[in-house]
């Protein structure tokens, strides 16, 4: 398996992986593939990596810029991250996460936020930070990873593509 940057020809496979990955997931409104598509159209995919195994895309991770009300710059939001159901639990997501965080560091990012399972993301260094909030979600599911020493304070806003619900 290799992790590589998305290319234009991958869009359909990424969409199929994303739909399959979230089909039976709890706490979803099943708009993740619309979000990825809207981020791509807005040229807001700062990092977009695929996991490819024997010519088949089996996973994808998207990272886009976020805004923080306190004025901090160079922060990003991770997600969605998708792995085909039959490939979950085999390290695909872990490899995508590690490569995505490395790519962010290479871009000079100050940090990354994620909305998701605290137990899953904790192993990559994400922790709940009371000074950083995402309005409308339980605080324990919103986590941050600072690459520098300064953790910003404020309310986080994801790219407008995260409100995409259809084409």
- CA–CA gap between residue 43 and residue 64 (Å, rounded): 9
**Under DSSP, is residue 57 helix (H, G, I), strand (E, B) or coil?**
strand
DSSP string, 78-89: EEEEEE-GGGTT
Confidence (pLDDT) at 25: 82
Distances (CA, A) of 82 to 36, 54, 95, 107, 136: 11, 18, 12, 22, 23
Among candidate residues 84, 81, 147, 68, the one with its CA nearest the CA of residue 114: 81
pLDDT tens-digit readout, 74-104: 999 998 999 999 999 999 999 999 999 999 9
CA atoms within 13 Å, Cβ hemisphere of 4: 12
Question: What's this model's pTM, rounded to 2 decimal places?
Answer: 0.93
CATH 3.40.190.10 for domain 2-163: no
């Amino acid at each position: 398996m290799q992790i590589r940057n998305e290319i234009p020809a991958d869009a359909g496979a990424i969409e199929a992986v994303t739909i399959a990955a979230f089909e039976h997931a709890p706490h979803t409104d099943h708009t993740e593939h619309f979000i990825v598509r809207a981020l791509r159209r807005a040229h807001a995919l700062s990092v977009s990596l695929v996991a490819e195994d024997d010519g088949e895309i089996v996973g994808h991770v998207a990272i886009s810029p976020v805004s923080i009300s306190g004025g901090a710059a160079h922060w990003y939001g991770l997600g969605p991250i998708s792995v085909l159901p039959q490939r979950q639990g085999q390290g695909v997501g872990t490899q995508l996460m590690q490569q995505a965080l490395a790519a962010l560091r290479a871009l000079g990012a100050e940090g990354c936020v994620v909305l998701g399972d605290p137990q899953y993301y904790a192993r990559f260094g994400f922790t709940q930070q009371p000074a950083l909030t995402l309005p409308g979600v339980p605080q324990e599911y919103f986590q941050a990873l600072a690459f520098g020493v300064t953790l910003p304070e404020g309310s986080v806003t994801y790219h407008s593509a995260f409100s995409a619900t259809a084409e």
